[in-house]
Amino acid sequence: MLDGSETWAMTAEDMRKLARNETSMLRWMCNVNVHTRQSVHWKPSIDGSKVSLTYVSPCGQSGFPGELTITVTYELTDDNCLKVDYMATTTKATPINLTNHAYFNLGGHGIGNLSKHWLIVPAAHYLPVDKNCLVTGEIRPVDGTPMDLRKQVLLSEKFKELPDGYDHTYCFGNLEKKLIALVWHEETERSLKVSSTQPGVHVYTGYFLNGPVGKDGAVYKKYSGLCLETQHYPNSVNEAVPLIGSTGTFDVVSDGVPRRRVFDNAR
């Protein structure tokens, strides 16, 4: 785990190699090659109810130092939990921020929007964003704002306050496994509990879904799905903002030292 003793400084040469992060297209600057890695070949392996996918990012890819080996393991447990386990090692110290972008709709994938979903995110702080959905470098309390999700809220009511919905990171600030979010769908009575060892979660309610066609011909429009992306704080590699209750701001993977993070979904 990150203990605050590790450091990583971006050199002028590193800066020259990295793409600038000035629009929402490159939103997650802590990731290595985030916008193309989903299109590369991952090496799969199956072990009972687990499937593992491994990818080796060569040194210098997207300008980041070190050959980075990433393994993500998906496991469906006997107690109805989907566990996602991330592991990374590298040959040189490099920043990394791994997450997933799975969409959830407890009413069913073709049911429509999230209006009848209730949501709890027990975080006291969040990261405000600018017009391009990029974090500003501030950490703000949720008190007295539409960002306060510490008590259950009905998303249809929140969408009246926030027409663009949620596209924000909530701050927990510690690397222990903890409750991240609770979701409940009133008609089906299905529920989802999310826990993670990551210090933050990015809550996205699908505002930019513009009609892609999914399975059985379902059309996914605005608010069709909810993403709960457990991760470190976006752009924290470029900020001097400490984690709430912690000493580090982003994961630094050191030479030969594995880094592990866990994301659990249970209903």
Catalytic residue among 117, 125, 185, 229: 229
For residues 165 and 161, what is the distance between their CA atoms, to the nearest angstrom? 8
Whose tokens are 């020259």? That residue is: 16
CB-based contact 192:226 (threshold 8 Å): no
Q: Which residues does 168 contact at the CB level (< 8 Å), separation at least 6?
A: 126, 127, 128, 129, 147, 202, 203
The token pair that represents 116 in the structure block: 């009848």
Whose tokens are 């690397």? That residue is: 175
From residue 41, give the alpha-carbon distance in Å to each of 47, 55, 60, 98, 203.
19, 7, 18, 17, 28
Catalytic residue among 101, 138, 161, 186: 101
CB-based contact 88:259 (threshold 8 Å): yes
- Residue 229: active-site member: yes
- Residue 101: active-site member: yes
- H or E stretch including 183? strand 178-185
Strands 117-120 and 140-141, bridge-based pairing: unpaired
For residues 263 and 196, what is the distance between their CA atoms, to the nearest angstrom? 4
Catalytic residue IDs: 101, 229
